[in-house]
Copies of this chain bind each other. A is one copy, B any other.
Amino acid sequence: MGVRQAQKQQSRRALMDAGLRLLEDQNLTSLGVREVTRAAGMSPAGFYRHFRDMADLGVALVEESLASLHLLVRSVLEGRGGAEELIDRTVEIIELHVREHPAHVRFLARERHGGARQVREAIAAELDRFAEEVGAALALQSVSAGWGEGELRMLAELYVGHVVSTAAAFLEAPAGDPEAARRVAATARMQLRLVSLGRRHWKDA
């Protein structure tokens, strides 16, 4: 890649980083072009060399935020071991991810039902893909013997929804309060265990 392209990407990164930082205490709809460029050390007009819109910046942030999440999902699903260990590792990885990328997680939680249609749809589409991926992984587990496609899908959606809730809960726990985080983790584990129990007895009825 040429020097030119590298410099442009650097500016783009500066804009996205500045945007992500500003979005920690405001919504995308209220984020201004001048505000972002000012924080990124760039002139207002320069913004349009990279993004058509603010929503455009938002979509780019969605892609970036969910790329790291994809790795998370993969690493959980590929794991071997009993249900109990899988649950523990899931919750651990969620907590770790929220700690390492709080701004990304906050951004996703905030804009999932936010005011920018394009961003909402981008997040929804990606969460759908997650559900599909999780569903495919669930199908391979021996507990899912005899489960129909629809049943697997609803279970996958239950899991994805739970992951989102748990991530948001970790986010709301004060940074300097490890006890609160531990409570969130304990609750999430119990809930996953309860769902796991329901799974095992689903085909009894």
Binds B, one of A59-67, A133-141, A174-182, A191-199: A191-199
**Residues of chain B within 8 A of A201, CB atoms compared:** 197-198, 200-201
**Cα A197 to Cα B198 with chains together (Å):** 5
**Cα A205 to Cα B195 with chains together (Å):** 14
CB distance from A202 to the nearest CB of B (A): 6
**Residues of chain B within 8 A of A204, CB atoms compared:** 197
Residues of A101-131 at the interface with B, using a CB-CB cut-off of 8 Å, are: 106, 109-110, 112-115, 124
**Residues of chain B within 8 A of A25, CB atoms compared:** 115
**Cα A109 to Cα B168 with chains together (Å):** 13
Q: Which residue of B lies closest to A117 (CB)?
A: B25
Count the copies. Answer: 2
| Known pairs A155-B194, A162-B161, A201-B197; A113 contacts B109 (CB<8 A) | yes
Is residue A43 contacting chain B, with contact meaning CB distance below 8 A? no
Which interface residue of A26, A106, A124, A196 has the most chain B CB atoms within 10 A?
A: A26
Residues of A145-167 at the interface with B, using a CB-CB cut-off of 8 Å, are: 151, 153-155, 157-158, 161-162, 165
Is residue A190 contacting chain B, with contact meaning CB distance below 8 A? yes
Which interface residue of A113, A162, A190, A194 has the most chain B CB atoms within 10 A?
A: A113
B-binding residues in A (CB < 8 A): 25-30, 106, 109-110, 112-115, 124, 151, 153-155, 157-158, 161-162, 165, 168, 172, 187, 190-191, 194-202, 204-205
Query: Which 7 pairs across A and B sit closest by C-beta, in order of nearness?
Result: A198-B198, A30-B30, A27-B27, A197-B198, A194-B198, A29-B30, A109-B113
